[in-house]
A and B are shown apart, each in its own frame.
Chain A
Amino acid sequence: MDPQPRIGVYICHCGVNIAATVDVKAVAEFAATLPGVTVARDYLYMCSDPGQRLIQEDIKAHNLNRVVVASCSPRMHEPTFRGAGEQAGLNPYLVEMANIREQCAWVHSDRGLATDKAKWLVASVVAKAARLEPLEAREVGVTPEALVIGGGVAGMTAALDIAEAGFPVYLVERSDHLGGRVADLNRIFPTLERVADLLGPLTERVQSHPNITVLLNTEVTQVEGYVGNFEVTVRGVEEPLGVGALVIATGYDVFNPRRKPELGYGQYPNVITSLEMEHRLAAAEESGPEVLAVNGRLPKKVAFIQCVGSRDVQLGHPYCSRVCCMYTAKQSRLVRELLPEAEVTVFYMDVRTFAKGAEEFYDEARKKRVLYRRGMVSEIYRRGERVILAGEDTLLGRPFDFEADLVVLAVGMEPRADAAELSSLLKLPRSSDGFFLEIHPKMRPVDTAVDGVFLAGCCQGPKDIPDTIAQAKAAASSALIPLLRGTVPAESATAVVDVEMCAGCGMCVEVCPYGAADLDALWNVSRINPVLCKGCGACAATCPSKAIRLQHFTPDQVLAQVDALLG
């Protein structure tokens, strides 16, 4: 059935990303000698428009029937090159990629060895390409509804945008109220507005929106299905909810400073967290500064300690929590206003003010005589009614024993304790710090490895409110894509049965997780329903008579890859 393979091979320099380590010219020359290869070239950026055009022109000029692109991971650009092939009239499944960047150039430094490896990787994929078969692209319908997990600012914002676009949304919230962590705050930087004035109207809009079903005191217990057609089981809701897309907005946990016992939190009444300070500041606005008293006295010296639980490799929290510098600037300013007599000192290692208006706000704090001292506090112990902060002023190069009445620990964020549960429910990978993993930290910060599942807010990593809202709106617009299109591409690389060889043992029926395989009652042979099949290949690997093949990953293709690797 196959005409003679006429393969075009394209080796990408990826600027210097590949070319610095791999001799791309040598790889292209080698590729030209491989069986079935008609043309082999190298180019600076294959994914660029001229790079793609190069492939398309070759397809026409050389009548190519297979294309191999050796560049980055197929997880990055497979859709790009399949699309380019398709535009030139080539079935997209006849385009294959060799990963010589992530799995070669970036992980090896010896140019000779890396070039050698790249050659064999290309040879392997060329061998597979020669045996590729065209597959039919298929589409399936989409359930035009969405589900958002988490009723904080991120979840509410995403739900509202999807609802405003005209689609029904379920908003699943574990607690008995909307608002999330932001509801715990008093005022926000840099405007010093009251949180209640901002959160109230947002919550009100969500609760009254006809397209939004708010499910409080509920949690997701099971997720089945795929992009376009998820079935989500929610505790407390009888029927599973059918939705086309999911937004994860589960937020974060606040770092518990008891994990740093040297700071004396929980031991001395003088030491409190920034969140507790937030509550006290709110109370002080209502009933006067007396609520800030410690041991019955208004504090004369107030200290803030930055980065508690953040930027700390030993705690497994290597990241910056991104909000503490600014909320400390805010709280320290408020303390200066409430207690004009008090000395306010902030101990820090770096001050990070990247949000809009943040540096200006920090300037104001210093001008209001909040004193910033560079140097971290190493431990806190008691002296009478006060506490001693032992640390070093790194600018003076001298240790200090700083006496204070009230110490505020600027606690950071950490992944929710239950993030692992949700991660395994959704098969959603997490990064090494425990937050949910986006597909690419720069280019695709909202998408996840699971199609149709998008991230919003601090469940992906610490961020402030504007960044959270921006990401929530991005997640909503991504979730709307399948809902608006009405269809999503279905897996084409499904399993197929050779009925001549099938003995009707039924092992495929047992191993298929999707109920896609069953036995034909009349002929007692296996049948695989291509609509249900997700292409995992469990049946093919199990079939004792080798009657089932997983298309696009057939034993013929895979073993050809192995053979080619051996050289």
Chain B
Amino acid sequence: MAEKFEPKIVAFLCNWCTYTGADLAGTSRIQYPPNVRIIRLMCSGSVDPTYVLKPLLDGVDGVLVGGCHPGDCHYQSGNYKARRRIIALKEIIKNAGFDEERVWLRWISASEGQRFAETVTKMTEFLREKGPNPMRQKWAV
């Protein structure tokens, strides 16, 4: 372990709230660790289970799903769908012997640039503590 472990995080952000919040973090120049890579989707409700599972299986250290606050979904109820799906998904991940704490679902609005930056910072620190996704080593063997 010569090199310090730096987690890789894939973030699926809804276009209307969290993606815009991430943009606001940018326009406000709020600094956060570069460990997160953002993929823009229209709605957190469109996050297919495979979007979460595949990265974890491929050795990504964390998956962040960001949507609008309850009641604020641009498509009325997509975030509630995301919440139900992620809860079920975490259960499946846990039962399959993986670490469900690597999956975070957060509500971050378009005006919460600070909250987005804090979330990424916290998640990065959390995953640094936790260490690499064991699936990385699986492929390395």
| Cα distance A449–B32 in the bound complex, in angstroms | 25
- Which A residues are CB-close (under 8 A) to B76? 513
Chain B residue at minimum C-beta to C-beta distance from A117: B34
Name A42-83 residues within 8 Å CB distance of B.
73-75
**B75 close to chain A: CB less than 8 A:** yes
With an 8 Å Cβ cutoff, the count of chain B residues facing the other chain is 54
Enumerate chain A residues within 8 angstroms of B41, measured Cβ to Cβ: 537, 553, 558
Residue pair A540, B38 in contact (C-beta under 8 Å)? no
**Which residues of chain B are within 8 angstroms of A555 by Cβ–Cβ distance?**
48, 50-51
Do residues B51 and A110 form an inter-chain contact, with CB atoms below 8 A?
no
Q: A109-B31, A538-B75 are in contact. Are A121 and B37 (CB under 8 A)?
A: yes
- Among candidates A107, A109, A535, residue contacting B42 with C-beta atoms closer than 8 Å: A535
Is A538's CB under 8 angstroms from B26's CB? no
Chain B residue numbers with a CB within 8 Å of A561 are 39
Say yes or no: B85 contacts A566, CB within 8 Å: no
Against B, the Cβ 8 Å flags (1 = close, 0 = not) of A353-392 are: 0000000000000000000000000000000000000000
Q: B60 contacts A559, CB within 8 Å?
A: no
Instruction: Pick from A133-141, A158-166, A264-272, A428-436 the stretch touching chain B.
Output: A428-436
Known: A424-B71, A513-B76. A537 touches B34 (CB 8 A): no
Interface positions, chain A 398-427, Cβ under 8 Å from B, are: 423-424, 427
- For residue A274, CB closer than 8 A to chain B, the reply is no
Chain A: interface residue total (CB-CB under 8 A): 50
- A542 touching B29 by the CB < 8 A rule? no
Q: A106-B27, A427-B72, A550-B42 are in contact. Are A566 and B48 (CB under 8 A)?
A: no
Tell me if A534 and B75 are in contact (CB < 8 A): yes
> Is there contact, CB below 8 Å, between B54 and A559?
yes
Instruction: Tell me the dominant secondary structure on chain A's binding face.
Output: helix
Q: A511 near B37 (CB under 8 angstroms)?
A: no
What is the minimal beta-carbon distance from A536 to any residue of chain B, in angstroms?
A: 4
Contact partners of A124 in chain B: CB under 8 A: 37, 39
Neighbouring A residues of B51 by C-beta, 8 Å: 555, 558-559, 562
- With most chain A CB atoms within 10 A of its CB, the pick from B27, B29, B49, B112 is B27
Name the A residues within 8 Å of B31 (CB-CB): 107-109
Question: Given A536-B43, A538-B75, A541-B47: A107 and B32 within 8 A (CB)?
Answer: yes
Question: With the chains together, A432 CA to B71 CA distance in Å?
Answer: 18
Q: How many whole Å from B16's CB to the nearest CB in chain A?
A: 6
B127 within 8 A of A: no
Report chain B residues within 8 Å CB of A73. 23, 26
A513, B32: Cα distance in complex, Å: 35
Whether A437 and B50, one on each chain, are in contact in the complex, defined by CB atoms closer than 8 angstroms, is no
Q: Within 8 Å of chain B (Cβ to Cβ): is A116?
A: yes
Determine whether the beta carbon of A565 is less than 8 Å from that of B37: yes
- CB of B119 within 8 Å of the partner chain: no
Q: Judging by beta carbons under 8 Å apart, are B42 and A536 in contact?
A: yes
Chain A residues 109 to 134 lying within 8 A of chain B, measured CB to CB, are 109-110, 113-114, 116-117, 120-121, 124
Instruction: Verify if A547 is at the interface (C-beta below 8 Å from B).
Output: no
A535 to B42 alpha-carbon distance, docked (Å): 8
Out of A75, A117, A121, name the residue touching B23 (CB < 8 Å): A75
B73 within 8 A of A: yes
Question: Which residues of B have CB within 8 Å of A429?
Answer: 17, 20, 72, 109-111
Stretch of A97-105, A230-238, A317-325, A462-470 with 4 or more beta carbons under 8 angstroms from chain B? A97-105
In the assembly, what is the distance between CA of A110 and CA of B35, in Å?
Answer: 12
A563 within 8 A of B: yes
Contacts A563-B58, A566-B58 given: A540-B46 contact, CB under 8 Å?
Answer: yes
State whether the Cβ of B55 lies closer than 8 Å to any Cβ in chain A.
yes
Let me know if B30 is at the binding interface, CB within 8 A.
yes
Tell me the complex Cα distance, A116–B36, Å. 12
Can you name 19 A-B residue pairings with CB atoms under 8 Å?
A73-B23, A99-B23, A102-B26, A103-B38, A106-B29, A108-B32, A110-B34, A429-B20, A429-B109, A432-B112, A513-B76, A537-B45, A537-B46, A538-B43, A541-B81, A550-B42, A550-B46, A558-B41, A559-B50
A residues contacting B by CB (< 8 A) are 73-75, 99, 101-104, 106-110, 113-114, 116-117, 120-121, 124, 423-424, 427, 429-432, 437, 449, 493, 511, 513, 534-538, 540-542, 550, 553, 555, 558-559, 561-563, 565-566
* 7 closest Cβ pairs, A-B complex: A537-B46, A102-B26, A536-B75, A429-B110, A106-B26, A513-B76, A102-B23
- Residues of B whose CB lies within 8 Å of any CB of A are 8, 10, 15-17, 19-20, 22-27, 29-32, 34, 37-43, 45-51, 54-55, 58-60, 68, 71-78, 81, 85, 109-112, 114, 117
**Given A101-B26, A117-B37, A536-B78; 6 other pairs, CB 8 A cutoff:** A429-B20, A513-B75, A537-B46, A538-B75, A553-B41, A562-B55
